[in-house]
């Protein structure tokens, strides 16, 4: 049975409850949730002037093909009240296919692996919770290593050294 990783996020309404409802809906749609990450509160990406997000990731086993899974995720978003808005703007719920087995595909409607995994801490942290040793099929690196690289590249530069006991 194929294994997929789904990113879940919300920044409108009861954010934690919205994420939990999404997980429950996945189960009701016959998508078996194997693992789930911690919940993380993160700043917005893309459009900065909006509320903070709650993000998480789940590992699922599913008989659904990638397009069927995408359709299921979009249906859950709709059921939970997501409406069309500005790209990367506020939303009640957001569900993204991050990985699907080791599949690499790019079409107009769907790209797997998700094209922004490596530059989004809010994706890498929860994904690393549940699949630290999963190899990204494009970058050929473990998820935990992608997270470490992201964190190293995003850290501030030290502008002043600490004090010493002696000159």
Is 92 in contact with 80 (CB distance < 8 Å)?
yes
Per annotation, catalytic residue among 25, 36, 82, 120: 82
Q: Average pLDDT in the 48-54 region?
A: 79
Q: Which member of 15, 25, 36, 94 is catalytic?
A: 94
Of the candidates 74, 8, 5, 73, the residue with the CA atom closest to the CA atom of residue 35:
5
Find tokens 């879940």 and name the residue: 8
Say which residue, 43 or 138, is predicted with more confidence: 138
| Mean pLDDT computed over every residue of the chain | 87
Catalytic residue among 15, 25, 36, 91: 91
Told to judge if 91 belongs to the known catalytic residues of this protein, a careful annotator would answer yes
**82: annotated active-site residue:** yes
Q: Which two tokens stand for residue 76?
A: 């859950």
Residue 155, pLDDT score: 57
Whole-prediction pTM: 0.87
pLDDT tens profile 81-96? 776 766 655 678 999 9
Does domain 3-116 match CATH 3.30.70.560?
A: yes
């Amino acid at each position: 049975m194929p294994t997929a990783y789904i990113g879940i996020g919300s920044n409108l309404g009861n954010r934690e409850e919205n994420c939990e409802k999404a997980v429950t809906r996945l189960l009701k749609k016959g998508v078996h949730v194997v693992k789930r990450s911690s919940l993380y509160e993160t700043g917005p990406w893309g459009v900065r002037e909006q509320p903070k997000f709650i993000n998480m990731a789940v590992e699922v086993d599913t008989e659904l093909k990638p397009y069927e899974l995408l359709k299921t995720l979009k249906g859950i978003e709709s059921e939970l009240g997501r409406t069309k808005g500005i790209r990367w703007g506020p939303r009640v719920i957001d569900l993204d296919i991050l990985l699907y087995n080791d599949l690499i595909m790019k079409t107009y409607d769907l790209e797997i692996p998700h094209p922004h995994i490596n530059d989004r801490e809010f994706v890498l942290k929860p994904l690393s919770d549940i699949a630290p040793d999963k190899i990204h099929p494009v970058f050929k690196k473990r998820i935990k290593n992608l997270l470490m690289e992201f964190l190293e590249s995003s850290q501030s530069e030290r502008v002043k050294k600490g004090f010493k006991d002696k000159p």
